[in-house]
Copies of this chain bind each other. A is one copy, B any other.
Amino acid sequence: MNKIITISREFGSGGRELGRRLAKKLQFAYYDKEIIEEIAQRTSLAESYIENVMDHQPMIAYPVRMGVSLQSLNLIQMPSQQIYQAQYEIIKEAAERSDCIIVGRCADYILREMSPLRVFVYSDLPSKIKRCTERKKEYETFTEKELKKNIEKINKGRSQYYSFYTNQHWGAPSNYDLCVNTTHLSIEKAADAIMRFFL
């Protein structure tokens, strides 16, 4: 069976960087934004739309976003279901193809029968704000208050999306093998440490 690491991560905690470093060190395939691109190809939905759905509670997000009435709720669930179905298949295929690291997208749950190493990456809010300001150009003009609000909104959305499809609590230690707090830990060292489980 292939070796798989799933990385669930709070927005702003450096989970993506940790995933990339690990993939490079271990020479594993790496899937992150690639999953969105592939969903877009398979469903003909726009990448920005897919990303938006994944960062919001799927049921609640639609009526507002798509301007439809509550009566047509059955119809408007379709894109969300379509996205999750494509996501599910793409993640399964990736895990069956080779050793890999998959960031986000409920991969820990989707691949639970393949016993992945399930990592959750988190940090405190000041550290998230610092990371976002330093690494994301689009946040340069944000006030600290706006940035805080944005980070919390995205993480709330991720939590809701995860709970909705897995019926599990996002970030609850029991769902993961390792939880890594990047507030004080170096991501380089965390990658060094995690790769020991595969040596």
- Chain A residues at the B interface, C-beta cutoff of 8 Å: 115, 120, 122, 124, 171, 173-174, 176-181, 183-185, 189, 192-194, 196-197
When the two chains form the complex, which single residue of B115, B173, B189, B196 contacts A171, counting CB atoms closer than 8 Å?
A: B173
Chain B residues within 8 Å of A196, by CB = 189, 192-193, 196
Given the complex of chains A and B, what is the CA–CA distance between A40 and B152 in angstroms? 47
List the B side residues contacting A176 at CB < 8 Å: 179, 181
Q: B193 near A122 (CB under 8 angstroms)?
A: no
Q: Which of A120, A179, A180, A197 has the most CB of B within 10 A?
A: A179
Which of B115, B183, B194 contacts A184, CB < 8 Å?
Answer: B115
Docked pose: A141 CA to B180 CA in angstroms: 38
